[in-house]
Amino acid sequence: MQDFIVIGGGVAGVSAGARLSHLGTVTLLEAENALAYHASGRSAAMFEESYGAPSVIELNRASRHHHVTANGGVLSPRGLMIVARKGQEDLLAQDLTTMNMQAISFEEAQALVPILNPETMVGAGYHTDAWDIDTDLLVQNFAREVRSNGQVVTGAVVQKISRLGAGWEVTTPIGTFAAKTLVNAAGAWVDQIATLAGIAPIGIQPYRRSMARIPAPDDCDVSRWPMFMGAGESWYAKPDAGALIVSPADADPVEPQDAWADDMVLAEGLTRYENLVTEPVTRMITNWAGLRSFAPDRNLVIGPSPQDAEFLWFAGQGGYGFQTCPAASRLLADIVAGTPSELDSATVTTLSPARFS
* pLDDT, tens only, 100-149: 899 999 999 999 999 999 999 999 999 999 999 999 999 999 999 999 99
The per-residue DSSP string of 243-298 comes to EEEEE----EE--SS-----HHHHHHHHHHHHTTBSS-----SEEEEEEEEE-TTS
d(Cα 170, Cα 194) in Å, to the nearest integer? 12
For 284-320, the pLDDT digits (tens) are 999 999 999 999 999 999 999 999 999 999 999 998 9
d(Cα 40, Cα 23) in Å, to the nearest integer? 25
Say whether pLDDT at 39 is over 60: no
Kindly report the backbone phi and psi dihedral angles of residue 54, in degrees, each rounded to the nearest multiple of 5, phi listed first. -50, -40
| Residue 38 confidence class, pLDDT cut points 50, 70, 90 | low
For 48-81, the pLDDT digits (tens) are 998 889 999 999 999 999 999 999 999 999 999 9
| Residue 353 confidence class, pLDDT cut points 50, 70, 90 | very high
Q: What average pLDDT does the structure give for the chain?
A: 94
d(Cα 116, Cα 101) in Å, to the nearest integer? 19
The per-residue DSSP string of 21-70 comes to TTTS-EEEE-SSSSSS-SGGGG---EE-TT-SSHHHHHHHHHHHHHHHHG
* Higher pLDDT among residues 83 and 41, named by residue: 83
β-pairing, 175-184 vs 2-7, is parallel
CATH superfamily of 80-127+205-294: D-Amino Acid Oxidase, subunit A, domain 2 (3.30.9.10)
| pLDDT for res 43 | 59
Per-residue pLDDT, averaged over 190-209, amounts to: 97
DSSP state of 234: S
Q: Between 135-147 and 11-20, two packed helices, what is the crossing angle to 10 degrees?
A: 40
| pLDDT for res 40 | 47
| pLDDT for res 17 | 98
| Residue 42 confidence class, pLDDT cut points 50, 70, 90 | low
Per-residue pLDDT, averaged over 277-284, amounts to: 94
d(Cα 169, Cα 152) in Å, to the nearest integer? 17
3-state secondary structure of 217: coil
For 214-265, the pLDDT digits (tens) are 999 987 899 999 999 999 999 999 999 899 999 999 999 999 998 899 999 9
Instruction: List, by residue range, all CATH 3.50.50.60 domains of the chain.
Output: 2-70+134-204+296-356
d(Cα 335, Cα 259) in Å, to the nearest integer? 33
Instruction: List, by residue range, all CATH 3.30.9.10 domains of the chain.
Output: 80-127+205-294
Query: Could you tell me which CATH number the domain at 2-70+134-204+296-356 has?
Result: 3.50.50.60
Say whether pLDDT at 41 is over 60: no
| pLDDT for res 259 | 87
| pLDDT for res 44 | 67
Long-range pairs for 168-177 at CB < 8 Å and ≥24 separation?
168/5, 168/197, 168/310, 168/311, 170/5, 170/7, 170/29, 172/29, 177/2, 177/5, 177/27, 177/29, 177/153
